[in-house]
Amino acid sequence: MDTQVAAVRAFSRFYTNSVGALRDGLHDSQYSLTEARVLFELAQRDSTEVADLRKRLDVDAGYLSRMLTRFDADGLTTRSRSTVDARRQVIGLTEHGRNAQRELDDASSAQVAALLDRLTEEERGRLVGAMDTIRRLLGDEPKDRTLVLRPPRVGDYGWVVQRHGELYAREYGWDATFEALVARIVADFAEDHDPAREAGWIAEVDGERVGCVFCMREDEQTAKLRILLVEPSARGMGVGGRLVEECVRFAKSAGYRRMTLWTNDVLSAARRIYQRNGFALVDEAPHHSFGADLNGQNWQLTWD
């Protein structure tokens, strides 16, 4: 715990230095970081009750009162009594206040853009994804999470094998022979596949890998859907459905007449995704694989 606490504190010091949070005036303005944040909150709506503002920002009441008094004196804000409860004060930004806030906002965006400009597109995605992870873990769930499907890149293939091995061992108790099977499938695809008729997709949410699927050739008329995976953190977001839909769409455009897949009946969530996309169960048979007694199933989707 001590080491982890030190690491979090070190990151906090690094980030506050990176954005200049310790300077007397944020972005060379006359406003401190706290004052700039209060102006930002006030700009999000026409008027705000002072009590709600204090609660939202968790700012000391006396400190906030002195700050708002300075804002009033500088012509940034106006105050009135609440029409619902005369004991409550309502505050809003004047046009001068909104102009001051816009200047701060533009300066902040330019500063962050300069930081991101030093990174590659992939690095920017990783950075934003890591920041969203911090927010989620500390209780601030982002309202909008962006799902992107993209082709596999170098490094993704190892991730596909690793996550299949780890997740299926943890959730179903499967042994390393399953990871070996996935490794062979992935190696065959990475070493030699026809891009016109075979493809793979990595699902990312806010720059973080959360799933995968591959479309591979079985014969001239038949495509095979393989190694669908969705991370636990992304389940319930429709990631699996999007991956299967994209896989089927590609197979149709590549000239196949049908698509097959092999799965096991314990994978109930995956089966529901296949059924929603029109796959039908062809046959099933018990087998002992990956250190477990399983019931294997073959599914098929046919189109005109």
Question: Do 160 and 260 sit in the same domain of this protein?
Answer: yes
- Cβ neighbours of 70 (radius 10 Å): 12
In a domain, 138, yes or no: no
Domain end, chosen from 68, 96, 118, is at 118
Tens of pLDDT along the chain (304 residues) come to 889 899 889 988 888 888 777 777 777 788 888 888 888 888 888 888 888 888 888 888 888 889 889 888 999 988 888 777 777 888 888 999 899 899 988 988 888 888 888 888 767 877 877 787 787 778 776 555 678 899 999 999 999 999 999 999 999 999 999 999 999 999 999 999 999 999 999 999 877 899 999 999 999 999 999 999 999 888 888 899 999 999 999 999 999 999 999 999 999 989 999 999 999 999 999 999 999 999 999 999 999 7
Question: Do 72 and 171 sit in the same domain of this protein?
Answer: no
- Domain CATH for 37: 1.10.10.10
- Domain CATH for 237: 3.40.630.30
In a domain, 233, yes or no: yes
In a domain, 159, yes or no: yes
The tens digit of pLDDT for each residue in 3-17 reads: 989 988 998 888 888
- Token pair belonging to 109: 């965006």
Question: Do 46 and 159 sit in the same domain of this protein?
Answer: no
In a domain, 104, yes or no: yes
65: left (phi over 0), alpha (psi -120 to 50) or beta: alpha
Which pTM was predicted? Answer: 0.58
Q: What is the pLDDT of residue 20?
A: 76
Q: What is the mean pLDDT of the chain?
A: 89
Q: In Å, what is the CA distance from 168 to each residue of 189, 214, 290?
A: 21, 18, 10
Question: Do 296 and 169 sit in the same domain of this protein?
Answer: yes
In a domain, 23, yes or no: yes
Helix 33-43 and helix 50-57, axial crossing angle in degrees, nearest 10? 130
In a domain, 191, yes or no: yes
Question: Do 100 and 208 sit in the same domain of this protein?
Answer: no
Gap between the Cα atoms of 196 and 176, Å rounded: 32
Please state the domain count of the chain: 2
The tens digit of pLDDT for each residue in 214-237 reads: 999 999 999 999 999 999 888 888
In a domain, 236, yes or no: yes
Q: Which residues, other chains included, contact 242 with Cβ-Cβ below 8 Å and sequence gap of 6+?
A: 147, 149, 203
